[in-house]
Amino acid sequence: MIDIVLENWSPIVFIVVLLLNVLVAYWLYSMGNPEYKKTKYSGDPFISGNRSPKDVKKLHVAGDNLFWGFKKALKRYYDPLIDGHTGRLNDYMIWVVITLAVVLIYLYLVV
Amino acid sequence: MTLDIIIENSPTFILAIPLLFAFLTAVLGWVSEKIGEILFGIGLALTVFFVGVMSFEVLTAESWFYVFGAESPSPENITSFFRITFIADGFAVLATITISITAVAAGIYSYSFMKDESGLNKFYTLFLLTLAGVNGMVLTGDLFNLFVWFEVTSVASCALIAFKNYRGRSVEAALKYMVLSTVGGLVVLFSIGLLYGQHGVLNYALLREGIAGSFTFLDKLALGLLAVVFAMKASSVPMHMWAPDAYGEAPGSVTPFIAVTSLGSLFVLFRLFFGVFSVGLDVAILGSLLIVLGALSMIVGVSMALVQSDLKRLIAYLSVSQVGYMMTAIGVGLATLRSGEGFGDLAMQGGLFHMLNDGVYKALLFLSAVAVIHTTDIRSLNDLGGLAHKMPYTTFFFLFGALSIAGIPPTSGFSSKLLIYKSVYLYSPILAIIALVVSIITFAIVAKAFFNAFLGPDQSLMKRRISKPMLWGMGILTVVLIVFTLFPNVVVAEIVDPAVEGLIGSLEGGLP
């Protein structure tokens, strides 16, 4: 019988602690100014003091706007990686053949 | 008495029922699509019932061989080389449970998602054939029978991918899948020929005896060929490129089901490594092979996911990286079990628990992504946004799946990854660092996808509402994930440990 289990990890304890944190956060929130009144600008994003655009699409950060710095910094890694994913069936087969050759050579040499 | 017969024959019912109902659905579905729908539901429910029967017997009593064609399907009748055997052990239980959960969710989802398509009786037939094929792959104990189920799965799932044949991209993806599967099938057949020529048997157990006696160059060749084909079908890097095409272009409701056929190939790969080839050579060599392919899959999968803007392709690349976790963990288990280093068990637990988790949360992510695409007709993350305002349930489902795939506590994905980190660290700290970094990047990617699709101001992108069956399909997966999340120790003890024992037992001369 295998006796190794997930020792020292209890998701239920984690969730209880998480809920306690939520309660504390709510308590802090409830201590805020109850007389605050919403203005017509309440809830608008803060764009360095500029008026927020009326077109809601311009308020949202789209997919390609995220991690562009990461991709740019790793350009030398990403360029060949993306170029390798050509979408051509011939290339898919070539990779299978290459892997097959490497695995067989590995098994031939080490076994 | 009747109950005993049902239990004893449950492995064969798991295959016979979907095959029978696939036939009935195809034939009677011509009369009325409603009849086809009902037959599909009955076939799916009965298959899951027999998976439950087999699982209950294995987990509460014992594992057994099912020998076809014998007077009694008991282990002593295995001596005839031509008798096909099925292996009903903890490992097969884990595999069939994973497949069944996904199949039920995808099936319910399909009822509504596919209702506007024509020729639905063919769709249900193909679904049931794929279910039979992938269950057959993980249950069989015979190489030629494995080839048959491999082909059934390949042909049926290829037709499923191309089901919306008015979409050129679906047909292209299916063609690529078909060519790779056909070449893979021929390679498997060639390997079977090599092994049969050497040992004169096809049964895993008898083949293992033959290999233990003499492990020849041709055996080595067959091992390499089989390993590469099943790694390819499991979408391991660098043979993963078909997966984003197939997952991305298959009809949305069956995408997770196509993905689970890849997991089926991974189950077969592990079964062959542990149960058949482990006697012929140093298992550390086989383990190293899995570790290298696994580490590559983790890194390349997550790297490519980061640059995707198509929601389904993004999840497809993440699923490639998750396959890497499983291969690495099982590879570490295989490489260390005989060395007595003590953490092999832990790695196996982590790897197999992660397979169970992955089948469920990947399906949840795919189905919730499909719900987004279905309601908006938009796939690109550049054009989505604010859907949480109108799709609160889908938002929750996607978030839960995203947290699970990223391994964020307290989700079950964290529990299985914790086991993997701990064991892999003891084997090689560098591998553990790779696994951790990949998890962090995975979190960044799913956070981006969640933010892009669901958060921000409402952009009124919804063109149609999602139906209740679609919500139920996702809801079932979420409930299963919540159970896995709250009680990981119970899942590990009751489902994962018997699977680990099944694999380790096969390594040490038990059922193959």
Condensed to tens digits (0 to 9), the pLDDT of residues A32-53 reads 887 888 887 777 777 787 777 7
Cross-chain residue pair A99–B232, CB shorter than 8 Å:
yes
Interface test with A, best of B233, B448, B450 (most A CBs within 10 A): B448
Interface of B with A in 365-404 (CB under 8 A): 380-386
Segment B464-474 mean pLDDT: 93
Tell me the chain A residues in contact with residue B179 when contact means C-beta distances shorter than 8 Å.
Answer: 89, 93
Q: What share of chain A is helix, strand, coil (3-state, %, to 5)?
A: 60, 0, 40
pLDDT of residue B348: 92
Interface test with A, best of B273, B306, B460 (most A CBs within 10 A): B306
For chain B, the residue count is 512
What six digits make up the tokens of B115?
A: 């209702």
Q: How far apart are CA B39 and CA B42, in angstroms?
A: 5
Chain A interface includes B340 (CB < 8 A): no
Residues in chain A, pLDDT under 70:
1-5
Cross-chain residue pair B180–A96, CB shorter than 8 Å:
yes
Closest CA to B258 of B140, B357, B367: B367
Q: How far apart are CA B275 and CA B271, in angstroms?
A: 5
Q: Residue B512: pLDDT above 80?
A: no
Chain B interface includes A52 (CB < 8 A): no
Interface of B with A in 433-472 (CB under 8 A): 444, 448-449, 451-452, 456-459
pLDDT of residue B457: 84
Give percent of chain B above pLDDT 90.
72
Q: What is the ipTM of this complex?
A: 0.91
Average pLDDT, chain A: 86
pLDDT of residue B223: 95
Tell me the chain A residues in contact with residue B238 when contact means C-beta distances shorter than 8 Å.
Answer: 95, 98-99
Q: Give the H or E element holding residue B24.
A: helix B10-28
pLDDT of residue B185: 96
Nearest CA in chain A to B409: A11
pLDDT of residue B499: 94
Closest CA to B308 of B386, B248, B240, B398: B248
- In this structure, of B19-28, B107-116, B339-348, the range with the lowest mean pLDDT score is B339-348
Cross-chain residue pair B451–A1, CB shorter than 8 Å:
no
For chain A, the residue count is 111
Q: How far apart are CA A101 and CA A107, in angstroms?
A: 10
Chain B interface includes A98 (CB < 8 A): yes
Segment B144-170 mean pLDDT: 93
Chain A interface includes B307 (CB < 8 A): yes
Q: How far apart are CA B434 and CA B407, in angstroms?
A: 14
pLDDT of residue B509: 62
DSSP state of B476: H
CA distances from B507 to A15, B86, B138, B459 (A): 39, 18, 17, 57
pLDDT of residue B508: 64
pTM of the model: 0.93
Q: How far apart are CA B54 and CA B8, in angstroms?
A: 8
Q: Positive or negative CA dihedral for B412, B415, B419, B422?
A: positive
pLDDT of residue A1: 47
pLDDT of residue B81: 56
Task: Specify whether the CB–CB gap between B7 and B57 falls below 8 A.
Answer: yes
Q: How far apart are CA B125 and CA B123, in angstroms?
A: 5
DSSP state of B310: B
> Are β-strands B85-88 and B64-67 bridged in parallel, bridged antiparallel, or unpaired?
antiparallel
Helices B412-427 and B311-336 cross at an angle (nearest 10°) of: 40
Q: How far apart are CA B79 and CA B81, in angstroms?
A: 6
Interface test with A, best of B241, B437, B486 (most A CBs within 10 A): B241
Instruction: Give the count of beta carbons closer than 10 Å to the beta carbon of residue B30.
Output: 12
Interface of A with B in 61-90 (CB under 8 A): 61-64, 66-67, 70-71, 77-78, 81-82, 85, 87, 89
Nearest CA in chain B to A89: B176
What six digits make up the tokens of B204?
A: 């895993």
pLDDT of residue B39: 94
Cross-chain residue pair B410–A93, CB shorter than 8 Å:
no
Give percent of chain B above pLDDT 70.
96
Q: Coil, strand or helix: which one is B380?
A: strand
Cross-chain residue pair B282–A2, CB shorter than 8 Å:
no
CA distances from B283 to B76, B231, B278, B370 (A): 28, 17, 6, 41
pLDDT of residue A105: 94
Interface of A with B in 11-50 (CB under 8 A): 11-12, 14-15, 18
Closest Cβ–Cβ partner in B227, B419, B459 for A57: B459
Cross-chain residue pair A4–B281, CB shorter than 8 Å:
no
Q: How far apart are CA B73 and CA B427, in angstroms?
A: 42
